[in-house]
Structures are given as structure tokens and as C-alpha cells.
Structure 1
Amino acid sequence: MRKVEVLSNKPALIERSLHLTVAKMTSAIAERGVCTLALSGGSTPKPLYEAIAAQQLPWEKIHVFWGDERYVPPDHPDSNQLMARQAWLNRVNIPAENIHPIPTDEVDPAGAARKYEEHLQTFFQVRSEEFPVFDIILLGMGSDGHTASLFPHTEALKARGLIAVGNKQEEPRITFTVPLINHARCVMFVVAGADKKPALAQVFAPDADNFSYPSRFIQPHGELWWLLDQSAGGELQVSTAAES
């Protein structure tokens, strides 16, 4: 079921995202004793991560993964891992073994993708033909409609394993696949900015090409939340934005 909320501005968007994320984390821990959370990169979620860092949570019961990563060293300014560590993970007492970064140290990105896939299979104790079920997967969306590192008209969109090599302008990325994302208990898009309006209109349109706007592929078995600021989602049709 898709739930869409349009918040008045970016601070309100971050506040709502924080409330919902913490509620889902707390619920997962209460139900299963642990929470598995996959993070998104980009600039939009940084204040969300900073806000989560200020919460009092049972960090030893929270395991953090990444939905995608640029193929750069972990100390590179473009690293999603580095951003999340600086904004959140380095500020709380989370055990090192609870942090599960995507490896970017292989000569071949495909090797790194296989390594992370094997890590997920081991951690979640699933067989090769099975999919892990994350409690929460946080996603953003680019102005071209991509999410994670699933870019328009790229081979990663067709991948049926857990992890794939994405590609943006000949730069490799490591990314969750569409099927892995869609097995999550909760997927939460957090989207801000007027530059997202055209793509959002296509993502929410009754008929559009999924390969042109990859966020359309995200239809999880569990909950799907779209949290938008007014700049991004204010012009969506009322009937669409009222879905619940």
C-alpha cells in the first residue's frame, strides 16, 4: 500500500521522516529483537541522520546497511558511507560489527557486488535463491527518476539477484536490486526540491515507462511511503497525494 505525505518544507519533511523511521525501528526491535536498516545517500537524508543520532535508541540492536554506494574509497568525499558515519554513526555508541558498508576495494566492481551479496546472505541466513527482508529501506529520488543507483535504461534495472553494478555516466556504483528492495517490510522515499517535480509526475502517473523512471519499479511487499516537501510534491494531484 502506497502512502503519500506532502510536508510544508524541508525541516517538516525531516521531522516527519525522523518520527516515522524511529517508530519503524522501535517496532522492529520490539517484534524481532533487531532492526535492519538500509541507508540512502545524497544530500537530502543528511539532516535526517543527524537527527537520528540525537535519539536514545538501543544501538546494539540496530544493524545499518547501504542501499547503494559510489565506487570510491570509504574516506572519499563522495562516499555514502562517509556521509552517514559523519552525520550519525560516529556520534553514537553503535557496535562496529553492526555497521555493514558496501565494499569498494575490489579491482572489479562486480567482485564487490558479489562480496556484498554473499555478506547479506550470510547475515540474513538466506539461501542463494532467497531474498533478505529488511525492516526499513530508505530511498531518495533523483531528478531523472532514479533511486539507489538504479538509473534509467541501465542493465542494473534487469538484475534479479540481490546486488548489482549500477552505472552513471560510466562511473560504476554498487546497488540493491529492484527485487531486493521490493522484499522490504517498509520502503521510505524522502524527496525534496522543485527539480524533482517532473519526474514525480511520471512516477505517479497511471501510465509511464518504468525503465525511464526507475522509481516506478519500487512496489514493495510491505509498506511504501513517499514523504515529499512542498517544493517537490505540492503540485501532485490531490487524489494521488491522498492515497493511503
Structure 2
Amino acid sequence: MTRQVEVLPDVAGIVNRALALILERAEAAIAQRGTFSIALSGGSTPKPLYEAIAQQPLPWDKIQVFWGDERYVPPDHPDSNEGMARRAWLDHVPIPAANIHPMDTTPADPTVAADLYEQHLQQVFQLAPGDFPSLDVVLLGIGDDGHTASLFPHTKALTVGDRLITVGNKDDQPRITFTAPLINHARCVIFLVAGANKRPALTQIFAPEGDADTYPARLIQPAGELWWLLDQAASIPVP
């Protein structure tokens, strides 16, 4: 893993750089393997990125879209990551419905939903039991508390090493989330981070020594590329 940290002037700069990285990796993946897989994040920073992707003349039938985590709400709920991505991007392009892979939040028990998404990934990627897929791109952000996806500080989800999907927990509200090992199998992980409020967490995440239980984004050490795209407000001296 080589960590690349780039500081851009503002969110628009982050969006433009992330778009370029994604388009390059999509072109290469489709040329090499005939398909491109991407896992989306929620939050406000990725929304303009999704709107920008929607404007690209891409081979939509060769693109597979997943989510790295999801709040336990229906897709039409304002907090739904799926709903946001559909409104910003997926509803505006001719991507086949079968290429969109949302997390199902209808089961009463979130552990059932996690199991179902894990089984779905195993089917899509034709995995043997215990194997992990290598998604081409996983998009992530961080919270002020250092969480990423729905891997929150001091929660059980951080210790899950043998699953693709688990249940995250924020203030006793369940989430469905990629596990750290699944993220770390990605060919390329791109963090999008904006705002001065992220500086304290970034200082801890980038520190040579630190506590991943307190700052879970430290767990993300992918075998492939790792990009941190920061705006000027979030930038810190990088060790």
C-alpha cells in the first residue's frame, strides 16, 4: 500500500480529482476485465461527485454499483445513502437495474440484512466461502470521530475479520457496513475529506502510532491504492 495525500483548494477540487481517478480506473478495469465495480459512500461531500459522474459518457452496462454502508432506513428516506446516489446519479443514466446493488433494509433484523448482502456479494463475484472480492474503487469519508463507512469507534464491527458485511452501530441505531477486511481488499480506496472539523481526527488517523479502536479509519490499509483527497480546510501536516 502506498498512501497518496493530495490537498485541493475546495470541495470542487476534491470532486474534480476524484472524478479523474475514477474515470481512469474505470477505463482500465473495463479494458482488463470487462467490468468496473465501485462502492459508494454517503454524506454531503460525495453528492457533487455523483452528479459529475452522471454527466460522463460511460459504458453503463459494464459498471456495477455497490454501497459501502447504509443507514437502516427505506431508500426514499432523506438519510438513505442509496436514495441520495439514485437522485444525484443513477436515476439520470441508462445503467441496467441489475447492475445496481443496494443494501436491503427491509428485514426487521439488521443481522439478516447483513447476511443477505454478504450472500449477494458472494453470488455477484462468484466467491468461494471465506474469499473476499476486490472491488475496483471504494469511496469513503470520515466523521469528526474518525469513523469511516459505518465502522464507529469502540463498536463490535471493528473486530469482524471473517465477514464481508456486518452491522455497524451509531447511538444504538443499526447500520449495514462493509467490514475493514473487505475494504482492504479493494484495488483502490479513495477518501474524500472536507472541512476544518476533520483535522483533529486526521491528525490521529495519519499518526505513525495510534488506536484504531478510537479512530477506525486507521484500519483502512488496502492492498491496492490508497488516496486521501483533502480540501484546504481539512489539510494537516502529514507525517
TM-score category by the smaller chain? over 0.9
Matches within 5 A, 1:51-130: 51-130=52-131
Matches within 5 A, 1:233-244: 233=235, 235-237=236-238, 240=239
Q: Distance in 2 between matches of 1:121 and 1:138?
A: 20
Structure 1 residue 116: Cα displacement: 0.2
The 3-state SS of whatever aligns with 1:78 is coil
The 3-state SS of whatever aligns with 1:120 is helix
The 3-state SS of whatever aligns with 1:210 is coil
The runs of 5 or more residues in structure 2 that have no matched partner are: none
Structure 1 residue 29: Cα displacement: 0.7
Matches within 5 A, 1:221-236: 221-233=223-235, 235-236=236-237
The 3-state SS of whatever aligns with 2:203 is helix
Q: Distance in 1 between matches of 2:164 and 2:21?
A: 26
Structure 1 residue 192: Cα displacement: 0.5
Q: Distance in 2 between matches of 1:177 and 1:69?
A: 13
Q: Distance in 1 between matches of 2:208 and 2:176?
A: 30
- Would you say 1:31 and 2:32 are equivalent positions? yes
Structure 1 residue 128: Cα displacement: 1.6
The 3-state SS of whatever aligns with 2:56 is coil
Q: Distance in 1 between matches of 2:202 and 2:26?
A: 27
The 3-state SS of whatever aligns with 1:152 is coil
Structure 2 counterpart of 1:102, one-letter code? M
Structure 2 counterpart of 1:197, one-letter code? R
**Counterpart residue number, 1:168:** 170
The percent of aligned pairs where both chains have the same amino acid is 63
Question: How high is the TM-score relative to the length of structure 2?
Answer: 0.98
**Counterpart residue number, 2:210:** 208
- Alpha-carbon RMSD across the aligned residues, in angstroms, is 0.7
Structure 2 counterpart of 1:190, one-letter code? L
Structure 1 counterpart of 2:232, one-letter code? Q
Structure 2 counterpart of 1:231, one-letter code? A
The 3-state SS of whatever aligns with 1:90 is helix
Structure 1 residue 6: Cα displacement: 0.6
Q: Distance in 2 between matches of 1:15 and 1:171?
A: 33
Structure 1 moving runs of 4+ over 4 Å: none
Question: How high is the TM-score relative to the length of structure 1?
Answer: 0.96
Q: Distance in 2 between matches of 1:142 and 1:28?
A: 30
Structure 1 residue 10: Cα displacement: 1.3
Structure 2 counterpart of 1:216, one-letter code? R
Structure 2 counterpart of 1:101, one-letter code? P
**Counterpart residue number, 2:199:** 197
The runs of 5 or more residues in structure 1 that have no matched partner are: none
Matches within 5 A, 1:146-161: 146-160=147-161, 161=163
Structure 1 residue 24: Cα displacement: 1.0
1:152-187 superposed Cα distances (whole Å, 9 cap, x missing partner): 010000112000000000000000000000001001
